[in-house]
Every structure is written in structure tokens, then in C-alpha cells.
Structure 1
Amino acid sequence: MKKLLLSLIAAIMLVPASVKADEGMWFLMFIERLNHRDMQKMGLQLTAEEIYSINNHSLKDAIVQFNGGCTAEMISKDGLVLTNHHCGYDAIAELSTAEKNHLKNGFWAQTRAEEIKPSSLFVRFFVRMDDCSKRILSVVNDKMTEAEREKAINQEIAKIEKENNEGGKYTVSVRPFFQGNEYYYFVYQDYKDVRLVGTPPESLGKFGGDTDNWEWPRHTADFSMFRVYGDANGNPAEYSANNVPLKPKHYLPVNIGGVKENDFAMILGYPGRTNRWMPASGIDQNVKFAYPAWVEGSKTGMDNMKKYMDQSDALNLVYASKYAGVANYWKNRQGMIDALTKFGTAKTKAAQEAKFDKWANKAENKAKYGNVVATINNYYKLTNEKSRHDNYLMTIFRTSAYATVSRGLGKQLENYAKADAAKRAQMAPAILEMADELFKEAYIPAEKDIMAAQLKLYATKSTGYAIAPAVAELGKANNNDFSKYVNAAFDLSILSSKDRIKAFLDAPSEGLITNDPLVKLSNDLMTHYNAKSDEIAKAQNDFGAAFRKLVEGLRESKIGTIKYPDANSTLRLTYGKVRSLPADKRNDAKVNNYTTLDGQVKKYKKGDQEFDLPTRVLEMNKNKDFGRYADKDGSLHVNFLTDNDITGGNSGSPVLNGKGELIGLAFDGNIEAMAGDVIFDNKLQRTINCDIRYVLWVIENFSNAKHIVDEMTIVK
């Protein structure tokens, strides 16, 4: 308790009494002292203890990290979990077949026995957190290299994690904050028996597709539902028919009263990554070098996936999940380029750093901070072309199932060839399982086209930094046309069919696998991606120390305006209000803070992959068949806007009113404020949310799954 109190006092000293209510991703353990008063003024009716408590159930017990990359919430006493459709997309696609296409047609389990378990899916409950900054920082000093510092810190982290995991009962994670100037540890409990309960058809869950992604006005049923199971005592357990629905410590009541402008709204979730402390030259590098390569490489991969996805439902399922993930960040990165350029974010940061540099070179600060800005700028200047190169190469890894095969299945086959007969017998089942996973996500004709197109892009566009040797040699020999080589490599490779892999297991040869053309190509790409010159290694070491000092100095000098740490997939709270954007003729709503089913139907295009709608939706809208979920104005509200501060990882986060009741489901941001991961715009930044009434209407009225809604605690 004393340690916690000291942590609170330290944090209070660093944060001014008044902060902007809509900006910031805040630790729950500091809510009472840092934010609670502001939140109460805006409409919060809960105590800080009701939001975060170690000893009693609280809101934090209803919020889970979903499969490591999204957020979800418990909404019934029987373990029902609500998250985004795009967060459940992988699991839904995995559980779909051409004959039972849950992704395309939707799915609702009529009984618990019909709920379906995907191969790998987990939710993570947050138990508690604490400050361990003093302990971690006591094992390092300024004379250490960054590698030495990292080693010492990791050794101390291992001790802290072991001390707090209670013999493996909990997962413990120690994370750095403020660029390594503070450290906190987080205690979690993971549940791995998570089953699909229901999903709307893709025409609703992904309505608008890539065209509407990151856009407002929006009309998307971006939700899916799962259930968490545990053993008879409520403990985590591997999948078993004997497992029972989890009784969570807390679940969210669901309020169907609707929202209006300036209503209080808070979001709890696991934002993945922001870079609001990023230096000006880092922003410039992203805008001019890294992100353009990311965008172009992503589009190349998407185009080559799409031409096969359009051929059949079966092929669409092979690439649906990968395509969706690549497309999401393709549009995000282009939006970042546009927004950061439009608002001159790098210039704003540069002005701040110039002010900091003057402070840093005062006599009393010079020894510690004098070279910080120059060191940071030198690092980015040295790595600009490498960042372009790395992003072209990274998009090959993201879009090709075979680009990283040398580190996965290829390496396992090499180890298999080296092993004795007894060890091989143990390894074979896992290798065959890896092969199954590979061919679930790969169609060889498509993989050939993806690889050939990406290699050509990489070889011709990454001109300022040396490309992988094998690619350079092949490109020179074939005038950068890689089709012939790639086709031959797949035709010869052990890894191009499961039958060939099985034959290799029967007669293994180390030389055969290490000389496999796809393994050799993958190994060349990955080795080159991870390589760095001594000059870059030294600059990276110096940059790590300088960036840490920049953040420390900005806080110490009060020149920095940010008072919260960057997001890093740890639980945060953000608060604000329902808030409209300027009137938009594309939106039929009376106030531009919500959209309606009427507006969704107006976007309808029969047979269109992005804007088709089920006939039943058209009929129900025509008849105004909205039941108890109609707004007071008679329409069915679909999505709404708040000014909460979120980012990727917040997908699926609950939007809560002042009583802690669920009013919506966060799923996106608006493209006008796409620079939000780097700099917060309090005029334009918005969170796009599913209205919980629309979610329940889709479940109960459209899908005839009222038994699911009956599990929830509904507040009118």
C-alpha cells in the first residue's frame, strides 16, 4: 500500500491539475487523483473504486484483451463476450467452409452446444498493476550500452514476473513507459476456451468495405460475439466438453436509451501503439520514406490476392483474413501520410525540439541533454533509405505465405533432418500441423503471383539501400521479371504441397531442405532484413539513449505538452463526450453525430462486394420494423461519434455512459484525424462506434436470436 501511495504521489507531481478531457490514454490506477474530478464534471457517476479496484469487482473486470490485438467486454453473467466483427474475423473465417460460410452468411448458435471453438483464441483479464520503475532503473547506469542496459533490465524483469505469477497462475508483463523512463508490471489471467456464439453476415459486419474504412458517415455492424469457458471452479482450462461458461467478476449492463450530443462517454480498452513522443525527423521519415513503401507494397499484395479471391467463395476464405488486415493498414498509412503532411506535424515537432535544444544547451543541462537532438536527427538521416527498403521488404512478409517460411516450417524440417529417429517421431505431428496451417492460408497459383510481383516492386523501388543479394542477382539476370524463377522455385520446392512434405518426413535430407529454392529465397530475405552495418548499429544505440533523454528532458523542462505515456497494449481509459462533426450532406441524420439504417440502405448496391445488403434488411427498413431499438425520432441509429482518444487495439472497446453502462462499441477513427497516433487533434479527432441498439437489433430482430439478448441486463 505504501508503494502504491508513493506511485500515486509521483504521478500527481508530473500531471497538472487540469487536463483536456478528450485527450489522453490514462492508467486506471491513477484515475482517482488525476482524472476523476474532471470526469465527474462531465457526467461520470461512478467512484474511482468502481472503475478500478484490486480487492472488489469493478469495471476493469469486465474488460478483456481479445486474442492479443483487440479489446472485448463481458456482457452477461454467463461469459458472453462482445467485440468487433473485424476482431473476430480470423476465427469466423477459420470456422467457415464453402458449404457453411459463417463469414458470408452469418451464424447464431441456438444452444450452448452449437457454439464453435476455433483452434486458437484467448481472452486476457487484467488483475492488477504496480509501479516498478525504481527497482528496474536501479540496475542500469549511463555508462552501459543499450544492449547492456536491455540485458540488465530483462534480467530484473524476469525476477519480477516470477515473483508475481503465483506459480504460473498468472501472466505477468513488465512494460516500459515514457521511452524507458518508467516501468510498470501488469498481472493478467488468460482463458483459452473461447467459442463463437454469433456473427452478422459479412454484408453487415463489413458493410462499406475498404471504401468506407476510416470514413464518416459510417453504417457498419462491426460486431461479433463469443463466450468464455472455464473449468467447474471458474479457472482457465484447455478446451473440454466438460467446461462451463465463465461467471465473470463483473459484466456490463446494456443501456438502450440512446445518446445525444455532449453526453458523457468513456472507453476502456487496450490501445496498441501511439507515437506521440516521436521526434520531428522520425515523422519525416515515415511520411517520405517508410509509409509510401508500406502503401505501395500493401496494394501490390492486395491486388494479387483479390484476383483469386474473386474466383470463388473457397478462395475468398483462404485470403479473406490476410487481405482484411493488409487493407486496413494500407488505408491507414495513406491517411497518415495525408494528415501529417496537411497539418505540418513534423514542423510543429521541430519547433518544440528547437526550443528544447536551447534549454538542453544551457550550462546546467548541457552535459546530459546537449547532444540529444543532434544525435536523434543523425540517426534518422542515416536510416531514411533503409526504412524505405525495410517497408518494401516487410510487405512481402505480410502478404506472402512463403516469404518467412525459412524461419517456420523450413526450420522445423531442417531440425527434423538433423534429429534421430526417436526425436523425429515426436516432431512429425507438429510439422504436419504446421503444414496444414500453411495450406489453409495459401493457394499456390496466388502465392506465385504475389511473390513475383512483390519481388519486382522491391527490386525496382528500393534503390537507395542495397537489396537482398539473391534478389539483386536474380533481378539482374532476368531484367527484374521474377515470374519464371518463382514458378520454377514453387515447382521444385518441398514446401509447395503437403504430399511432398510427407515424402520428406519419410526420407529426410538436411541438404535437400537447406537448398530448397523457397527456403533459400526466404532465408536471404529475412537475413538481409535483420542485418545492419556497424555504423547503423552504433547510431541505433546512440539514438536509444538520446530518445529516452529527449522524453525525460521534455517532461523535466515542461516544454513537452503530453502528460501520459504512449499506448503499448496496456489497459487504458479515455473519456470525452458524444460529439458531432460539421454538417455533411452525405449523412441523412439531423445531427452529424450519428447515422441511420435509412442512410445505410441509401448506400445499398445490389451485388456489390462492399455495399450489398440482405433483402431482409431492406424490407425491415421499409416497414420501420425496429422494435424497442428505435430512437425517439423513429429511426434506427446505426453508428455514432465520440471524441475519445483511441487507436488500433481499442477495436471492440466498450463505450460507456456515466453509470458504466454499455452504449456502444468502438471500431474505427475518422480519416481527417489520421495523424492521431502522432499528434492529437481536439477539433477533428473522433471515435466511430456501433450504437448498441443497432447491435441488439441485428441480433434480436434481424437474426431472430433473442435468446442471446435475453442473457443480458437491459437498461431502458
Structure 2
Amino acid sequence: MFLFNKYRKTFLLIIGIVSISFFAAKAVPEKPLPEKGMPDLDEGMYPLSEIHNIALKQAGLRIDPLEVYNPNGISLVDALVNVGGCTGSFISGEGLIITNHHCVFGALQAASTLEHDYIENGFKASAKEEEIEAKGLSCRITDSYEDVSAKILKAADGITDPAERSRAMEKKRIELVKEAESKDKTIRAEVSEMFEGQTYVLFRYRLIRDVRIVYVPPRSIGEFGGESDNWVWPRHTGDFSFVRAYVAKDGSPAPYSKDNVPFKPKKFLKVNPNGVNEEDFVFILGYPGRTFRHKPSEFLEFQEKYQLPYISELYDFQIAAMEKMGENNHELAIRFASRIKGLANVTKNYKGKLKGLRSLSLVDKKRREEKDLQAFIDNDPSLKAQYGSVLPETEKAYKSMFRTAKRDLWMGQIYRSSTLLRLADLALDYAIDSKKPESERKQAYLNMPELKKNISVIYGTFGLEADKVFLKRMLQDASEFPEGSRISSVDKIAREKGNAKAIDEYIEKAFNNNRLSDVEYFLKLLTKSYDELVSLNNPIITLALDLRKEASSYEDEKRALEGTLDELSARLIEVKRLWQKKSFIPDANSTLRLTYGHVRGYSPADAVYNSPFTTLQGVIEKSYLGGEYRIPEKLRELYENKDFGRFYSEKAKGLPVALLYDMDTTGGNSGSPIMNAYGELIGVNFDRTYEATINDYAWNEDYSRSIGVDIRYVLWVTQKIGGADFILSELGVNL
């Protein structure tokens, strides 16, 4: 994992998790919309700098856009928080945050025991003193940002070698981060690449390290429908939870302590318990992960041929193995719950993307677009001289990536597959880092208490037998790779192609009384030098060492590819702007964005129309299927007694549960607040429809829909099922 982090951008480029986004596009006259299925100007995850350049008032916003984002004052943006990679929002002056059930699932798993199974039963703290630590969960709040493109590009001035150019730019990015963090010890900085090779922005974040669980509904509500309903509409999942942020008494970030006090946000959202209606204007603020709408056809081809099938099949195998191990072992079932949930979410998403790529023929559509672009370039001698080779050179660069696809995808997954191998690499990385001057050390290694806490979280999801099965599978796969994708570290174990017996022997030796499975033993390893770790002759550590050396051997190759594609991407974006005569909607890259739209149904197939609301009646109807559709008996009783409190909707003819809208979202938008025209909270985003999984590559207003839990269901469950009236009181909701 830590080896992976060293070459993070290169590997993310290969496995398709790098975006090319634009931070401050200047509007220019547009040409006719592209063919259906490709991006248009109405889509978008707008960065903060663009909010005042979009027609929010015309779309239906009823407040001043400055109330949404005000760079010189307090606005709704100040209520937003990144919660462990998801989005959340402050909803009280006492640091109360609402986000998704699935966003705190890992923390819930870490707190669960055989005696207190919070995963299944949920959790409620009737007083602040009863709130429990959300282990492994932290929050960050966007504090400020600045364009640092000139500084980073200047660092590469005069460097023609792609690998050296990439190194120089990466070095400058690290310097800028360290400089920002040294000026203010309470912030964390991050340089986000917007357009590759063109635009870079330094973001400063305020960290909150003490997060506590306040209320989480039972799994039968928060995960109602399970994987059967994941990425599906109609939906009836109560995917919400409440956590609280704590800081030291002086307001500074601090690790968990009973002496800490609730965080006082600059702004918190007002909850509107009346919800919204069909065709109402809505908008979302959040931290969307990655989209790839400006990528070339070869990128989509890589996704379709290599990444999506490989990851889907691998994760299906791992899920099945863990589910089988947990069938008759409740302790293992709890331990694996978070991992299974995460893998299942990814694999279903990837299968949806794969289906969309094929059914919409997106690779062919992108190629036709590029053919037209090349014709535009060739028809102008000056453009041909400057940009004529961009598309052919891009194709050549990606083809080289295809040749080593299996190797690179495998390297991107090996540390995720084997926890012991990941820990061994961590120990080696820590030993190397500890020899550096403090100014050059990794921030994650300077705080030993925090590092130990993170390590304990890793061990909390660890299962020795699962690790054994997963590593064996990965080694067997690699032993069958063709030339060009061979991994010498695996060949050293297998000795010859496909030698299953040799791999079995290694696995038995590696896992026979391997003390790496003991957290206390592992922590002692962090006191050892690099040479001392090597001298242990631990088979897992030896494999981690070999993989490190091997990855280093082709670092120049990957750096060169990265540098080449950065330069080509920058030129490709330049000429596409000239061709289309318009600015591009920014690709997402985990920075704070806005998207807007309307509560709206859609037609996924001929003669089929999906309305934009589901109700409690649908929950009851599905409950008779059992299994993933089980419900608490109390919920059934409340329904039969028509005890809906103030949350019944005459227009929906029932208690609204989930809603559908045509906003542009992706991973990372989980937990994003859905706000009405007045900036009031009316729901929490948590998913997309299956047809919309393709959104990451292409937007279509006909079928691109996102799914949220209606605030009326959130409040009803919290009050009637959870008995947490105190939360509604804190929100100012009158019962």
C-alpha cells in the first residue's frame, strides 16, 4: 500500500482514477451540443470559483448565490465537511453532522463486538457522554485555496525529458504542501491537479480528528435492500446517520479525549421537515470523487477491456470468500462486514459502467469525436503544426499502457488484497522514512499515537484465513501473466509459469505462525531499522521488499508515461477548446463542488416511467420478500397504525422515503446535503441509478439520476424508531 502511494499518480492513471478537471473556466460562445450520450453544458460539478458564473437564479434558486458561496464571508459552503472520503454537513451549532449510514459503516464495525453488534442493531447515544468514538473516521473542512499553476509549471521549465519533468513538478507540489502546513500546524494542505499539465490548485483543510457516533439506525433500515437494491430505483433505504465533531477546548484539532468539546461550525444547515415536491429546484454541495469525461477513447477502451472486468471479477471472488467464512462465525461476519460492503459497492458500480460502455458504444462515439477533431486540426496549417500529432501520440502512449495492463492492475490491488503484505510494506516504508530529516518525513509517520490508532483499525478488519486465500489467488493469477506483464517477484516464488504447487508451498510457509498477524508484534517492528527487518527473513516481508525493488525498476518508465500524457492532455484540452469554442464543465477530483437540478423521474426503458418518490408502503411491500428486505417489527406496527407524525405527504400519498433528481453526482457525493431553493436541507444523497453509473464517462439528461433519502423519512425514523427526539430538538424541528 505504501509502495503504491509512492507511485500513486502513475498507478491511478493506469487504473483509471485520475481526472482532468478545470478550475476557473471562462465562458465563451458555444457550438451546437455534441451527440446524445456525450457531455453537454448542462451537466457539471462546478468548483467554487464557477458558482457565480452559472444561472442558478434562472434555474430556480431563491436566495442570493452569495449565500451559497461567499469567498469574503460566511455561506452554506461553510456547513460542508468531508467525512472520511464522503460528504457530510453540519446541522447544529454543536457540531452535529448528518451523512450516510454507509459512510460510518466502518466506524460502526470497529465499535461492534459480539455483545454489542451496532452493525445490526444500530446505535443511539441519549446524551453527549454516551457518544462513542468513530474509530478510523476523521473530518476535514475546506479552509481556503489558491491557484499554484505558475509555480508548478515553472519548476519544469526547460526540462524536455518527460520523466524528469514529472519528477520536478511532483517535487514542487510536495514543497508547496510542506510550506503551507509549516505556516499553520492546524491545517492539512493538498495540491489538486485540475487539467493535467496545466492547472494546479493548493487546497487548505481544517482537520477534525475526534468524531463520535450519535445515532445510526438498524441495518435493516440503513441498508434496507442490501446489494439487491444497490444502484437501483425504486429505492427504500434509510441511508443516513448522525455523528458529532469534537475539538480541544481551545478549538484546535485533537485526538479523541473526554476533555474535548463539540466543534462550533461557522455555519450549519437549517432542516426543512416539509421536504420537496416533484419538479422543485434542488442543489447539492459536496466532494465528488472522480469523473473522466475529457479522457481520450483509449482511456475508455482501457476501462472496458482491462480495469472494469478485472476488478469486478477479483472483488466478486473476495466477497464470496469472506461471506462463506462468516456464515457460521459471527465474529468474522462483523470483522468482514465493512470490507464486503465496500467491495460489493465497487463491483456493482463497475458492472454498471461496463454495461453502459458497451450498450452506448462510448468508445466508438469518442473515436468519432476524435476523428472530427483531427479533421478540424488538419484543415488549419497552423493548428496542424501545433496539434497535429496530439491524438496519434496519445494513442501510442496508451497502447504502451495496454501492454503492461495486467501487471499494473495487479500491482494496484496486491496491497488491498493482502493485509499482511500491506503491513509489511508499511514497516519497510516507516523504517526508510525514519532515517530522513524531520522536515522531509511523511506527515502520517510523525504522530505515533495517531499511526498506532490507524494500525489498530487495519487489524480490526483483518482475517488470517481470508488473507491467505487472497494472497494465494493473487500469486496464482500473476504466475499466469503473459510476457510484458510478468512480475519477477512472483516468478521467484512460482519458479515457472503457473506452478501452483510452488505457490502453495510458499503460502503455507508464509502463514505458518507468521507473527505479523499479532498487532503488538507489528508495533515492535516499527522500532527496527530497514536492515533489521530484512534480516528477519519473514516470507511476507521478503515479498514486500521484492515488490518494492521491482516497482522501483520501472519507475522511470511510468514517470515518462505520466509526463508524456500530462503534456499531451494539456495540448488536447487546448485544441478542443478552439474546436468547440466553449469552456468545459470541470471533471470531479475530490474537491468541493456544486451541482443543481430538479426533483424528477425518468424513463429507463420503453413504456416504463419511474416517479421521483418512494414511500413507506414500498418498504412494507418489499419486506415480505425477507432476507435483505427484513424490517424492524416496530416499523411494521407504526405503518399499520398509520403513525406518521407530521411527516405524511398528501402529494406522495404516504410517508416519503427516497427521492430522485437529475443532478450530476459521483462517488464522494455520498452524504451530500440535498438543499431546496432556499438552501434548506431536504434530503441526503447516497446513490445513483444503475443506468447512471456511466455518468463518470458521459452524461445524459434522459437517464442520469441520483438518489437521496428524504428528510421526512430521516426525521420519522430518528423519532419513531430510534426514540431520539433530542436530535430533532437540536435541529429545531417541532414535533
Structure 2 length-normalised TM = 0.86
Give the alignment partner of residue 472 of structure 1, picking from 476, 483, 491.
491
Q: Aligned pair 1:566/2:587, yes or no?
A: yes
Range that drifts further, 487-496 or 643-652: 487-496
**Greater Cα offset, 70-79 or 208-217:** 208-217
Match in the other structure for 1:252: 269
Corresponding position of 2:103: 87
Find the counterpart in structure 1 of residue 119 from structure 2: 103
2:400 & 2:176 partners in 1: Cα distance?
37
Question: Residues 99 and 549 from structure 1, CA distance in 2 versus in 1: closer, same or farther, beyond 3 angstroms?
Answer: same
**Which of 292, 303, 309 is the equivalent residue of 1:275?**
292
Instruction: Confirm or deny that 1:126 pairs with 2:146.
Output: no
Kept after mapping to 1: 8 A contact 2:140/2:206: yes
Give 1:667's aligned residue: 686
Residue 401 of structure 1 is matched in structure 2 by 419
- Look up the match of 2:572: 550
Aligned counterparts of 2:707 and 2:368: Cα–Cα separation in 1: 32
State the match for 2:282 in structure 1: 265
Asked if the contact 1:116/1:195 (under 8 Å) is kept, the reply is yes
- Aligned length in residues: 693
Q: Aligned partners of 2:64 and 2:376: how far apart in 1?
A: 41
Q: Distance in 1 between matches of 2:56 and 2:720?
A: 35
Matches within 5 A, 1:494-509: 494-498=515-519
Structure 1 segment 606-617 matched on structure 2, within 5 A: 608=627, 610-617=628-635
Is residue 646 of structure 1 aligned with residue 668 of structure 2?
Answer: no
Residues 1:12 and 2:26 aligned together = yes
> What's the offset of the Cα at 1:360?
3.2
Match of 1:42 in 2: 59
Whole-angstrom CA distance in 2 between matches of 1:297 and 1:303? 10
Match of 2:46 in 1: 26
- How much has 1:437 moved relative to structure 2? 4.5
| Deviations 1:121-161 (CA, angstroms, capped at 9, x unpaired) | 32222233343444544444465334443444455543487
Aligned partner of 2:256 in structure 1 is 239
Does residue 488 of structure 1 match 2:538?
no
2:201 to 184, 188, 204: 184
Of 459, 462, 465 in structure 2, the residue corresponding to residue 439 of structure 1 is 459
CA contact (8 A) 1:25 1:567 kept: yes
Contact 1:104 / 1:202 at 8 angstroms: preserved in 2? yes
Which position in structure 1 is the counterpart of 2:361? 344
SS at match of 1:381: helix
Distance 2:388 2:159 in 1: 17
Distance 1:684 1:585, change over 3 A: closer
> What's the CA shift for 1:415?
9.3
d(CA) in 2 for partners of 1:128 and 1:467? 45
- Structure 1 residues 77, 119: closer, same or farther in 2, change over 3 A? same
Report whether the alignment pairs 1:686 with 2:683. no
How far is the alpha carbon of 1:441 from its aligned partner?
Answer: 2.2
Partner residue, 1:291: 308
* 1:89 counterpart letter in structure 2: F
- The 1:457/1:207 distance shift into structure 2, 3 A limit, reads farther
Distance change (3 Å), C-alpha of 1:437 and 1:555: same
Contact conserved, 1:416 with 1:427, CA < 8 A, in 2?
no
AA aligned opposite 2:702: K
Kept in 2, the 8 Å contact 1:51–1:58? The answer is yes
Structure 1 residues 512, 235: CA separation in 2 closer, same or farther (over 3 Å shift)? closer
- Taking the aligned partners of 1:433 and 1:605, their CA distance within structure 2 comes to 42
Tell me: CA distance 1:316–1:711, structure 2 relative to 1, closer, same or farther (3 Å). Answer: same
Aligned to 1:65: 82
* Structure 2 partner of 1:4: none
Structure 2 distance, partners of 1:504, 1:181, is 42
Match of 1:656 in 2: 675
Name 1:699's counterpart in structure 2: 718
Name the SS for the 1:472 alignment partner.
helix
Seen in structure 2, the aligned counterparts of structure 1 residues 613 and 226 have a Cα distance that, compared at 3 Å, is same
With 211-220 and 306-315 compared, the bigger mean Cα shift is at 306-315
Q: Residue 579 of structure 1 aligns with which residue?
A: 600
CA contact (8 A) 2:79 2:89 kept: yes
TM alignment of 1:631-642, pairs within 5 A: 631-632=649-650, 633-642=652-661
Over the aligned positions, Cα root-mean-square deviation in angstroms equals: 3.4
The separation in 2 between residues aligned to 1:202 and 1:137, in whole angstroms, is 49
Over 3 Å counting, the alpha-carbon distance change for 1:585 and 1:203 in structure 2 is farther
1:611 partner letter: Y
| Segment drifting more, 629-638 vs 232-241 | 232-241
Q: Identify the residue that residue 373 of structure 1 maps to in structure 2.
A: 391
CA positional deviation for 1:510: 2.5
After superposition, the C-alpha distances for 1:153-202 in whole angstroms (9 at most, x for unaligned) are 45554348736875324333332212232233323222212111111111
Deviation at 1:366, TM superposition (A): 2.9
Paired residues of 1:513 and 1:519 also in contact (CA < 8 A) = no
Within 5 Å, give how 1:508-527 maps onto structure 2.
510=532, 513-525=535-547, 527=549
Q: Find out whether 1:208 has 2:229 as its counterpart.
A: no
Q: 1:416 to 1:530 in 2, by over 3 A?
A: closer
Cα displacement (A) at 1:649:
0.6
Please, which moves more after superposition, 448-457 or 335-344?
448-457
How far off its partner does 1:26 sit?
0.7
**Percent identity of paired positions between Structure 1 and Structure 2:** 33
Partners in 1 of 2:304 and 2:454 — Cα distance? 37
Tell me how far apart the structure 2 counterparts of residues 416 and 177 of structure 1 sit (CA, whole Å). Answer: 32
Question: Aligned equivalents of 2:693 and 2:525: distance in 1?
Answer: 49
Assess if the C-alpha contact under 8 Å between 1:179 and 1:551 holds in 2: no
Structure scoring higher RCO (CA < 8 A, sep ≥ 6) equals: 2
Structure 1 distance, partners of 2:27, 2:130, is 54
Between stretches 51-60 and 682-691, larger displacement belongs to 51-60
Change (3 A) 1:176 1:395: closer
Question: In structure 2, do the counterparts of structure 1 residues 223 and 154 end up closer, same or farther at CA, with 3 Å as the change threshold?
Answer: same
**Secondary structure of 1:266's aligned partner:** strand
In structure 2, C-alpha distance between the alignment counterparts of 1:499 and 1:140, rounded to whole Å: 45
1:384 aligns with 2:398: no
C-alpha distance in structure 2 between counterparts of 1:88 and 1:181, whole Å: 36
Distance 2:246 2:406 in 1: 45
Query: Residue type of the partner of 2:710?
Result: D
Matched, 1:320 2:364: no
Matched with 2:130 is: 114
Q: Say if 1:29 and 1:554 are closer, same or farther in 2 by CA, change over 3 A.
A: same
* Contact 2:247–2:263 (8 Å) recurs in 1: yes
Kept in 2, the 8 Å contact 1:29–1:129? The answer is no
Distance 1:524 1:326, change over 3 A: farther
- The answer to whether structure 1 residue 618 and structure 2 residue 601 are counterparts is no
Unaligned runs of 5+ in 2: 1-21, 34-39, 436-445
1:597 and 1:681 map into 2 onto residues whose CA distance is 30
2:619 is equivalent to residue 600 of structure 1:
yes
Q: Residues of 2 paired with 1:248 and 1:573: CA distance?
A: 20
Which residue does the alignment assign to 1:3? Answer: none
Change in 2 beyond 3 A, CA 1:435/1:10: closer
- Name the CA distance, whole Å, in 1 between partners of 2:302 and 2:689: 23
Change (3 A) 1:357 1:27: same
Taking a change above 3 Å as real, the CA distance of residues 598 and 458 of structure 1, as seen in their structure-2 partners, is farther
1:404 is paired with a residue whose SS is helix
